[in-house]
Structure formats: C-alpha cells, structure tokens
Amino acid sequence: MPSYSVTVATGSQWFAGTDDYVYLSLVGSGGTSERHLLDKPFYDDFERGAIDTYDVTVTEDLGEIQLIKIEKRKYWFPDDWYLKYVTVKTPMGDYLEFPCYRWITDDKEVVLRDGRAKLSADDKTQVLKHHRRKELEDRQKMYRWAEWHPGFPLNIDAKSHKELPRNIQFDSEKGVDFVLNYTKAMENLYVNRFMHMFQSSWSDFADFEKIFVRISNTISEYVMQHWQEDFMFGYQFLNGCNPVLIQKCTELPKKFPVTTEMVECSLERNLTLEEEIKQGNIFIVDYELLDGVEGNKTDPCTVQYLSAPVCLLYKNLEKKIVPIAIQIKQAPEPGNPIFLPSDAKYDWLLAKIWVRSSDFHIHQTVTHLLRTHLISEVFGVAMFRQLPSVHPLFKLLVSHVRFTIAINTKAREQLICEYGLFDKANATGGGGLAQILQRAMKHLTYSSLCFPEEIKARGMESTEEIPYYFYRDDGLKVWEAIKSFVTDVVDLYYDSEEMVSEDVELQGFVKDVYVYGLRGTKASGFPKTIKTRQKLSEYLTVVIFTASAQHAAVNFGQVFLGMYPDEHFIEKPVKEAMRKFRKNLDEITSCIAERNRNKKLPYYYLSPDQIPNSVAV
C-alpha cells in the first residue's frame, strides 16, 4: 500500500504547541485518504518549536496531491496550536510543501494547498477553484470594514484586540513586548512627572531639559546641547522625525508678508529676498492644517494651546538650512508679528518652540498615524479580504502587514480613544486629532505616497542644491531596492499586461483599497484598477515602502526589511529574488554606515538594518 512521509513543524513562539488530537487527510486527483491520527506512542507530539515526522499509509493511489486537511480536536481543554508548515514525501520520492503560518483554534479543520504561488487563472480543477473561493468567502466574513470615526479611512470591524481574528492578534511574545515597550517608554519619558510639569508654567528652560533626563544616547545628548541653535532647528526639517513638510518656496504667500528689510541680516549673498527665492535658496513650512483647531480642554486644570505657524528657512553659503522668519498664526495682523533671528534671544527661541510644538502635532497625527498606520491597515484589510493565501501578491505582502491591524486596534482601544493617553497628554486631544485627520485626508493622495514623486513635488529632489537631506537620499535608495525586488516578483507571475488586468483577485484588492480605505475619493488619485505590470510594481512598492521604510523614518521597528521568516514562497526564482533584494539592502546599509562615520549627527532611520517589515509598533 502507498505510504507517505508527513513532517509537521510547530511554531516557536510562546504557547505555540498543543496537546490536542491532530488528524491529517490527503486530497489527491485520484481520491481522498482516510483521516489519520498523527500520534507517536510515548512521545509528546507538537511541542513548541518541534518538527515531527509521521508515516501515513493509504489503501489506494491518490494521484497528484492537491490539498491536505489538518483537523484539531480537543484533548483536555482549549489549546490553540501554531502550525508553521507541513511537508509530504510521496511514494515516488517527490517533496511537497504546504505553508500554513497560522493559529488553529478550537476544534477546526484547516485545508492547505501546496506552497506554489498561483493566480486564479492557473487553477484548472474544481477542487482548487472551490478551495480558493471558500477561503475568500470565509475571510470576508472575518475581515469586515468599519468606520471608527467619520472622515477617517475605514478600518477593521473590531472594538478591541480580543475581537480580532486570532491570526492577526499579537502572539504572546509580541503582546508582552507591547506592554514592556509601552511601560519602558513611559518610564523613559517620565510621563507622570512630565505631565505634572504642565500644571503650571515652566519657570526656565532647565525644565525643558528635564525631558532628556531619562533618554541617554549620543544623538539625544548632542541635541540637548544644541537644541536652541538655528542650525539644529533647520536640520530637523531635513533629517528629524518629520522630514516631509519642508518645501522649496517659489512664491511668498500673501498671508506671510516677509520683506527683504526684515531678513537682510540673515541673507548671505547680497541678494533681495525675491532674488533668493528665484535662485532656490528659500524654503517654507506651513502648518495651515492646525488653523482653527481648538486646544485640548479635557482637563480643566491644564490649559493647552495650539498654533498654526508659518516658517521661512534659508540655505546659507554652507548649504545648510536655517530659519529666518516665523509667524505664529496664519493671518497677518498687528497682534501676530513676524519673529526674526535679530529679535531678543528668548523671543526668537520661543517662536521656534511654537513651530516645534506644531510640528509634533502634525507628525504624530498626520505623518505617523494617518500616512503609515491607518493607510497600512487599509492595505492589510483589503489584502486579507481579496487575496487568497496561494496568490503570489498575498505571499509578497503578508509579512508587511504583520501585527499592523493589531497595533492600530490597540491604539483605538487605549491610546487615541476618548480619555485615552492622547487625550490627556496632547494639545490636540479632546477632538483636535479628529479635526486634523479629517483635513489631512484631503491631502492623502497616491502620488504623495510615491516617494520620488513626493520629494519632487516639494522641490527637494536636487542633491547638489540640498546636499544634507539624508532622508531623501536614503529613502530613494530603499525605494529603488524595493521596486526592483517587486518587479522581479511581478515578472515571475505575470507574463503580460493582460494577465494583470484579468486577475480578478488583484483588481478586487485594488478596488477595496480605493472604495473603502480612501472612501472612493477621486481626488486621492488612487487607482480603481491596475492594467500594467509597471503600474502594479509601483503600487506594490507603495504598499511595502509605506509599511516599512516610511514608518521607520518617522518611528522605529523590530523585524527588519528583507527578512521573510515565514516562508510563504517556496519557488526557487522568488527565493533568488529575495537574496538579490537582501544583497541590495546590505549594500545600502554599508553605504549609509560609511557616510555616518564620524558624523556628530548620524542619520540611520532609513538604513535597511533599522527598517521594520511592517507597522507593528
């Protein structure tokens, strides 16, 4: 009788093993085997991190194995099991791999296909077509769209982390990491004392420096020593945590009536302000999104304020960016003066602090929350709803949305909810966050997520004119590395433009993103359909770059870009493309490390060894 050798790999994360009964059935083109109990006498099967092998004997030839069924039945008490993969050695000596990488909960049956990526057009048998269709039907019941707040991108329908599908919840280790990281952050920032400091006005700038007391590294110490200086203020617009707002000024806005006479002591080329603008030496940052947003009033004991400043910056003869004029509010009026470097020391310093305060609010609400976290959740939910596990694009993207939906749900549950930490600690709490996000949604466009286009749209593309913009330089290298990798993968599975346009699952994914995530807003520029391989490669690059590099540039991460520990792809050409991708990333890492050597302010946020695969923190 034919005999198959079956190897089962259990995950290595906490509580991944199970004591439940596990059964296996083989589904072939010639029939289906009986259900076999996978059990060895006097042996503890399916322990955490274990790889167990079993002999499965069948009564007749099953033909080509198409599916395997894994069934878990309770032994003593509910016992979830994380199954990594199953391999099957056929009587002919062929090896088949069946990736799983998911939790099997309760008494459930999981049906797996072999790991070769397939488009829907590749499935010829009714068994495979039915399996593909059934998986998406089940997923669409679990991954439902919901509106957390009017005007926001739609998100998953779950009010708490425990309501999420088990496979996208934090596993035990990640959950512990979340608690420990949250606790450590609170400890480092000394939040209780920090918030207490807001109860009354600070008496001097030494109070401000107390923020740095619990944060100790080379960069923070350098910043603490130089934070009051103009060069540091300008540098942060290029390479700080919010390097996406500065743009070349081509015309001074009427609401910001700066004159040559005001700033001539800052201009080093003996030119008028208008001439400096024409030569491309003037830059502007405008916080108009904050105009009219009322400061947080949730705590009557703490008065909080918001401003919507406009800041003019100048590229000096050393090609460094420094501030030359700041207006705290949008409308010019006698009570809203323009502050200058020639003003009294603390008047100028306070004006810069107002700009930094506004920058913080835009960074947290728009740059970080909306443009990485929320949009990555849109990509994630759409992926689970429209792309089956066997689809090559699911295999490509799944690592880049790992824990994203979970971290966002936790944030809605604890951080940005009513009376959450954000409400207590931020001037945009108590309704301001929602107001800013609703405004920012009007500026969330597809082209603004295409890194090269976004840089060019702000007039910041010239490395010769703006030589110290490391965010741009490193970001472009990483973008091109991702795009090259994605193009390799796309070309492996799509032989023609027709294959792209006729892939109904791909088109469903793109449509879900547009219709639900972007609310069908034409002005967003997000495509409703994709018809070419080139456009598909660009679109996938946007998804991966946003979830990995863009988030890293404005935050930090843990599981690094180019690393795919869950082997959803089994084909050698794709694995070769991954090796090429990692090699390209290693070269970028080495290049950045060499540039940063001996720099007092090294820029490493977009070094690939610091870029997480997904928005998971």
Annotated binding site for Ca(2+): 17, 39, 79-80
Angle formed at CA 379 by CA 293 and CA 560, multiple of 5 degrees: 100
Query: What gap in Å lies between CA 305 and CA 290, rounded to an integer?
Result: 11
Residues whose CB is less than 8 angstroms from the CB of residue 41 and which lie 6 or more positions away in sequence, other chains included? none
Which residues, in sequence order, are bridge partners of residue 338?
Answer: 327
**Residue numbering of the annotated binding site for Fe cation:** 368, 373, 551
Angle formed at CA 357 by CA 355 and CA 362, multiple of 5 degrees: 90
Whether residue 542 contacts residue 446, with contact meaning beta carbons closer than 8 Å, is answered with yes
Angle formed at CA 362 by CA 433 and CA 220, multiple of 5 degrees: 120
Query: What gap in Å lies between CA 117 and CA 130, rounded to an integer?
Result: 16
- Reduced to 3 states (helix: H, G, I; strand: E, B; else coil), residue 322 is strand
What's the 3-state SS for 434-489?
HHHHHHHHHHCCHHHHCHHHHHHHCCCCCCCCCCCCHHHHHHHHHHHHHHHHHHHH
Question: How remote is the C-alpha of 548 from its chain's centroid?
Answer: 5
Residue with tokens 């049956």: 109
- Reduced to 3 states (helix: H, G, I; strand: E, B; else coil), residue 325 is strand
DSSP 400: G
What's the 3-state SS for 62-129?
CCCEEEEEEEEECCCCCCCEEEEEEEEECCCCCEEEEEEEEEECCCCEEEEECCCCCCHHHCCCHHHH
Residues whose CB is less than 8 angstroms from the CB of residue 353 and which lie 6 or more positions away in sequence, other chains included? none
Residue with tokens 């728009």: 366
**Residue numbering of the annotated binding site:** 17, 39, 79-80, 368, 373, 551
